[in-house]
Structure 1
Amino acid sequence: MALIKRLQTPVTPAPVSKDVPEQPAAAPSARRVVVLAAVDAIAYLDRDSRDIVLEAKTPEALYELMKQERDQSQDSVIVNDKTPDSNRMFFSNDGSVRGESVALELFTRFARRIGLAESAIEQVAALTAVAPVTTASARNAKSPRERTGERPDLFQEVTDKIVAALENGTAPWQKPWASSFEWPMNGTTGKPYHGINIMLLAANEFQDGRYCSFKQAKEKKWSVRKGEHGTPIYFYKPFLKETGEIDPATQEPKMRSIPILKRYTVFNFSQIDGSPEYELKNDHELVLNEETRQICDEIIDASGADIKHGYRVSAYSPSEDRVFMPNREAFKSDAHYYSSLLHEIGHWSGHTSRLNREFGTSRESELYGREELRAEMASAMIAMRLGLPAAMENHGAYVDHYLKVLRSDKKEIFRAARDAEKISRFVLSFHPDFREEFREEHESQMAAAVAVGAPAETFDASEFDFEAEGLELDGMKF
């Protein structure tokens, strides 16, 4: 809640020594530019994306402005688009889960902290009120990211990574070389990652499932080895926006929280000198110990799923609400048997009486591809928890379906990862130990979400990773 109070506290702009001219004499007529004389920079509106662009004379000058803003408040304004060695900063509308414009609010907060006069801020605000160009050439123009590669679309960035892995033959949740792999977690806080971050970290070739940021490693007196490359992960940061309404009880403006996607970098413990040694948690034999076998049986029995054996393939029938399975002896091992059966129970969870997902009527339908994507990712998550085989034998049959749905919607992989984690939790919660573990985990996630200003009525905390302490935003390290 401290974040909310800070954002609602007015910031008095520092006095400036120069007047801000309304328009530079040499400004191109095709683009309206506001000269920010007090900071020796200009601001303008990108015609395609409607982002506000702050452009300094040099990258060093921009760095000083960012540092000045940072020094004014611990709650630094975070923007999506500041690339190394660039003299431009984009206050971007991209990354908002609801697709709302937040560029002006971000710019205004930044501008007040670096001491810009209100008159200059008003001139920039006027730019956003100008109707966008609607000529055919403008409609067909490429975005700044497509033209220059400067502005990452984070949703598209993640989707491209997953698509590339699928095209190369190995999905991030597949581990053909390992009998099992671990659920990724932050090794310094002991907390697991969630949603899309599970899949992105699972894509690495590390056996160790522990990660942390460069800063967290440094605080532990550990050292990331020179030349090591970190793995990008993604968190939602709430941005508070005024609703235009006044709270009658407090007479203060009502605020609304909009989650915006941000990118961070973490390193695996095997890349860090001084970190605790990795303890192999299984011997990579496909022979289950008695405890794991018992846990699997308890989950299956407690689910109450209608399971019929003696069939040629594993399948779930939504119309009959029934799972069909080959006999146990048809599988290479008990581990493969349980992995396949729990995959089908993952499908079973989508029945209208349970998690209520839509199933496609044919293998060619988009709904069919979406459901298979969720079930396969959920199977990988269940496998991580139980130490079961990590690769689905019929994975290749669905790759084209996955590619089709992912290419058509850049946010689909985020929704699929969210739903997959819900499926895995639903299935595993039939065991009391997992049920208690997930209850505590969910409470922790909700507390982290609320602590950074995300209202409980807006979010299901299980859908997001909110805890980002100790992480540094890419491109904004001071």
Structure 2
Amino acid sequence: MTMDRNRQTQASKDIYERVTNQIIAAIEAGAGEYRMPWHHDGSSITTPVNVASCKAYRGVNVIALWAAAQESGYPSGTWGTYRQWHELGAQVRKGERGQLVVFWKQADRDRDTDRQDGDGDREEPARCMFARGYTVFNSAQVDGYTPPEMPVLQAAERIDHAEQFCAALGIDVRHGGSQACYIPSKDYVKMPEFACFRDAIAYYAVLLHECGHASGAKHRLDRDLSGRFGSAAYAMEECTVELLSAMICADLNLTVQPRPDHAIYIDSWLEVLRSDSRAIFTAASKAQQIADWMHAQQVDAHQQDRGAA
């Protein structure tokens, strides 16, 4: 039993390192243009989805699959294992390289279930769970598959959805000045006027970023990364809310563009990721937790509107 547990622990460590190294390579490749693995065009590549279950990937898997799609220029966010494609009558082309995704397996044989990063309320898998890697292939790597046509929202409709989404969060947003920031002592987000941004999408991407910071307040998600990352906690908080902003923008079909002002964080992010193979898993899991919280506020707001009608 101890030998099996040690073998599983080593396998988990290897998977953490493989995924982390892939994301480090993607950050390094785009650092000169401030392009991170979580930047996307908001249309063809949104939240990655599994072709068999039609469920979205979560947590660190989102970042890993975005990075892979960006590197290879895949126009789609649909992925599946070799067997899943085969069962759909499609064939992965010979010589295609797959992408590693991670699920966690219960060590207890009586609880034989897989869990993605970001599932549940914990920032990391419990000690009784071990990382299990699966290889998935993008729809651009297979023959015999015709993707369903997806509706394309007009720009005005996407912006309207973003406005409603942010309003439903119930976070105090005040406009004025030249800097966007969250002020914890007064619990409000400060944003420059709408006209100061290059376009509407840039405004909402920044607003979601700052609302991501606000989600960490004690009366919301009570997020504290200082114990996990020490002096690097601030940089990792920035990384977490950047991932969050990208996740929500993908859900809203909004483009996420590189931000030169994040150049000051890139070296810090890389330093933490190189020293801690679980760091990106924690940041992605926390970002997923914030995204889940934000989506829950939409449901609550909708129910309140129905009650008031």
Normalising to structure 2: TM-score of the pair? 0.79
- Residue of structure 2 in register with 1:157 after alignment: 18
Q: CA deviation at 1:282?
A: 4.3
- Residue of structure 2 in register with 1:320 after alignment: 186
RMSD, matched Cα: 3.0
| 2:296 corresponds to which of 429, 440, 458 | 429
Question: 1:385-419 CA deviation, whole Å, 9 max, x = no partner?
Answer: 00112224233231122112222321111111111
The answer for unaligned runs of 5 or more in structure 2 is: 111-125, 304-309
Change (3 A) 1:306 1:228: same
The alignment status of 1:236 with 2:100, answered yes or no, reads no
**1:359 & 1:320 partners in 2: Cα distance?**
20
**1:324 & 1:216 partners in 2: Cα distance?**
47
| 2:63 corresponds to which of 199, 202, 210 | 199
| 1:208 corresponds to which of 76, 81, 84 | 76
**2:92 & 2:301 partners in 1: Cα distance?**
34
| 1:171 corresponds to which of 36, 46, 49 | 36
2:159 counterpart SS class? helix
- Residue of structure 1 in register with 2:277 after alignment: 410
- Residue of structure 1 in register with 2:253 after alignment: 387
**1:377 & 1:282 partners in 2: Cα distance?**
24
**2:251 & 2:131 partners in 1: Cα distance?**
27
The answer for unaligned runs of 5 or more in structure 1 is: 1-50, 53-78, 81-89, 97-151, 243-255, 437-478
Deviates more, 1:186-195 or 1:256-265: 256-265
| 1:258 corresponds to which of 112, 120, 128 | 128
The answer (yes or no) to whether the contact 1:295–1:431 under 8 Å persists in 2 is: no
Q: Which has the higher contact order (CA 8 A, sep 6+)?
A: 2
1:332 counterpart SS class? coil
Counterpart amino acid of residue 281 in structure 2: F
**1:334 & 1:428 partners in 2: Cα distance?**
21
**Larger Rg, first or second structure (1 or 2):** 1
Pairing 1:124-139 to 2, within 5 Å after superposition:
none
Q: CA deviation at 1:233?
A: 0.8
| 2:46 corresponds to which of 179, 182, 188 | 182
Q: CA deviation at 1:330?
A: 1.1
**2:265 & 2:196 partners in 1: Cα distance?**
22
**1:347 & 1:377 partners in 2: Cα distance?**
12
**2:150 & 2:170 partners in 1: Cα distance?**
34
1:347 counterpart SS class? helix
The answer (yes or no) to whether the contact 2:178–2:192 under 8 Å persists in 1 is: yes
**1:352 & 1:194 partners in 2: Cα distance?**
25
The answer (yes or no) to whether the contact 1:307–1:323 under 8 Å persists in 2 is: yes
Counterpart amino acid of residue 94 in structure 1: Q
**2:283 & 2:302 partners in 1: Cα distance?**
22
Counterpart amino acid of residue 410 in structure 1: S
Change (3 A) 1:397 1:300: same
The answer (yes or no) to whether the contact 2:42–2:249 under 8 Å persists in 1 is: no
The answer (yes or no) to whether the contact 2:212–2:290 under 8 Å persists in 1 is: yes
**2:42 & 2:84 partners in 1: Cα distance?**
31
**2:140 & 2:148 partners in 1: Cα distance?**
8
Counterpart amino acid of residue 96 in structure 2: E
- Residue of structure 1 in register with 2:263 after alignment: 396
- Residue of structure 2 in register with 1:355 after alignment: 221
Question: 1:115-141 CA deviation, whole Å, 9 max, x = no partner?
Answer: xxxxxxxxxxxxxxxxxxxxxxxxxxx
Q: CA deviation at 1:354?
A: 0.5
Question: 1:9-40 CA deviation, whole Å, 9 max, x = no partner?
Answer: xxxxxxxxxxxxxxxxxxxxxxxxxxxxxxxx
Percent identity, aligned pairs only? 34
Q: CA deviation at 1:232?
A: 1.0
Question: 1:135-169 CA deviation, whole Å, 9 max, x = no partner?
Answer: xxxxxxxxxxxxxxxxx711122222222222222
- Residue of structure 2 in register with 1:267 after alignment: 137
1:431 counterpart SS class? helix
Change (3 A) 1:359 1:196: closer
Q: CA deviation at 1:359?
A: 7.0
The answer (yes or no) to whether the contact 2:48–2:78 under 8 Å persists in 1 is: yes
- Residue of structure 1 in register with 2:146 after alignment: 276
1:240 counterpart SS class? coil
Question: 1:200-253 CA deviation, whole Å, 9 max, x = no partner?
Answer: 0111232211111111111122111122111111111111289xxxxxxxxxxx
Counterpart amino acid of residue 49 in structure 2: M
Change (3 A) 1:368 1:227: same
Change (3 A) 1:323 1:435: same
Counterpart amino acid of residue 327 in structure 1: E
**1:336 & 1:282 partners in 2: Cα distance?**
20
1:430 counterpart SS class? helix
**2:105 & 2:42 partners in 1: Cα distance?**
36
- Residue of structure 1 in register with 2:122 after alignment: none
**2:15 & 2:206 partners in 1: Cα distance?**
33
**1:365 & 1:278 partners in 2: Cα distance?**
47
Q: CA deviation at 1:344?
A: 0.7
**2:48 & 2:300 partners in 1: Cα distance?**
20
- Residue of structure 2 in register with 1:368 after alignment: 234
Pairing 1:215-230 to 2, within 5 Å after superposition:
215-230=83-98
Counterpart amino acid of residue 427 in structure 1: M
Counterpart amino acid of residue 171 in structure 1: M
